[in-house]
Structure 1
Amino acid sequence: MLLQIFKSKIHCVKITQSELNYVGSITIDEELMEAANLYEGERVQIVNNNNGERIETYVIRGERGTGTICLNGAAARRAQVGDVVIIISYALMTHDEAKAHKPTIIFPNENNRLN
């Protein structure tokens, strides 16, 4: 049996951009992606601290060092620029893998940058 286990989290970043007329996804600064162990195309859950919305989409690599967190397509309707969100990913693991797993959690500053 495989368990779905919390893998990665970018805790409390601000939405910097919203692009409704886009195919979909969330664009994340490449530096934040790497620090959080997220991959382009990976499924993520986005939790909006401002309005309680929870959505799922996939990651697109954003320009390194920009602090970009951009909701694209239909997801753009679920948050405003400036909203604070948490971005979470999960992974399928065996029981033994899950017992040994340590999730990656990053805490960017108020400008979506690593300290």
Structure 2
Amino acid sequence: MFLRVLKAKLHLATVTRTDVNYHGSITIDEDLMDAVGLLPFEQVLIGNCNNGARGETYVLRGPRGSGAIELNGAMAHLAAPGHRIIIMSFAFMKPKKARHAKPQVAILNEANRIIEQFAGEPENPVDPV
């Protein structure tokens, strides 16, 4: 048996652009991808904090240091620029390994800069907004 466990999360990312006429995906600043271990073409779940919408797509690399969080294709209907979203990736693990899993988490400010980063659970789980 395998369990689907959180692997990586970008929390409160700000959507910088949407493009409904592009192939479906989410473009993410490569520095942010590296911070939590996201890979190009990895499947992600996106939750919109503004309207509760959720959707799944895959990751494309955005320019390093750009702060880019761009929803493309059908995903562009999920949010508007300025909306705050949560980007999550999951991995399948056996229960024994899953008990000790520590997802890589980065909490972002409105400019998509990391304001807090940790593995596993936060020491003081307080919403920074």
TM bracket, shorter-chain basis? over 0.9
Deviation at 1:114, TM superposition (A): 2.4
SS, match of residue 100 in structure 1: coil
2:84 corresponding residue in structure 1: 84
SS, match of residue 41 in structure 2: coil
2:23 corresponding residue in structure 1: 23
| 1:89-100 equivalent positions in 2, closer than 5 A | 89-100=89-100
2:13 corresponding residue in structure 1: 13
Distance 2:9 2:112 in 1: 13
SS, match of residue 23 in structure 1: coil
| 1:28-39 equivalent positions in 2, closer than 5 A | 28-39=28-39
TM-score normalised by L of structure 2 = 0.87
Deviation at 1:99, TM superposition (A): 1.1
Residue 113 of structure 1 pairs with residue 113 of structure 2: yes
Distance 2:54 2:95 in 1: 27
In structure 1, stretches of 5+ residues that fail to align are: none
Distance 1:5 1:75 in 2: 23
Distance 2:23 2:110 in 1: 28
CA RMSD of aligned residues (A): 0.8
Deviation at 1:78, TM superposition (A): 1.2
SS, match of residue 27 in structure 1: strand
1:61 corresponding residue in structure 2: 61
Distance 2:23 2:70 in 1: 13
Distance 2:112 2:13 in 1: 6
SS, match of residue 7 in structure 1: strand
Letter in 1 for 2:22: Y
- Percentage of identical aligned residues: 49
In structure 2, stretches of 5+ residues that fail to align are: 116-129
Q: In the comparison of the two structures, how many residue pairs are matched?
A: 115
TM-score normalised by L of structure 1 = 0.97
Letter in 2 for 1:53: A
1:50 corresponding residue in structure 2: 50
